[in-house]
Amino acid sequence: MSTLYFTTDHEWIRVEDGVGTVGITDYAQQQLGDIVFVELPEAGRQAEKGGEIAVVESVKAASEVYAPVTGEIVEANAALVESPAAVNESPGEDGWFFKIKIANPAELDEMMDQAAYDEFVAGLD
């Protein structure tokens, strides 16, 4: 059983057995436009909640991706290096960025669930 959380930086984290899979939301990929490059963290790297952990570049500009939680990177989505457009096509599934072993599960409590995130996005337009 996995649980899905969202950040105000438009990242999602799907948590299962203490490991979170992280990506950017559909709203984020729409705002960025055509994604042409993704730079991902290496496995073993220590991430701090809110710290820069990856880079996503659209045709127009580069944007930082922030670690939604503190923990250790256990895997990056190598397929994105050759196929960055997967982030546009499937932001919530194939377009995941990395998996992180969550150090402090209490950090998840501050995040939004799907309904709260949808409301948050609706308030942005």
Interface ranges with other proteins (CB under 8 A) = 33-34, 36-37, 39, 55, 57-62, 81, 84
CB of 31 to other proteins, least distance (A): 9
Q: Residue 15 or residue 35: which is nearer to other proteins going by CB? A: 35
Q: Do the Cβ atoms of 54 and 97 come closer than 8 Å?
A: yes
CB of 81 to other proteins, least distance (A): 7
Q: Residue 81 or residue 116: which is nearer to other proteins going by CB? A: 81
CB of 28 to other proteins, least distance (A): 14
60, amino acid identity: K
Q: Residue 15 or residue 56: which is nearer to other proteins going by CB? A: 56
Closest to 95 measured CA to CA, from 56, 48, 50, 46: 56
- Dihedral, CA of residue 68, residue 55, residue 9 and residue 50, to nearest 10: 40
Q: Residue 30 or residue 104: which is nearer to other proteins going by CB? A: 30
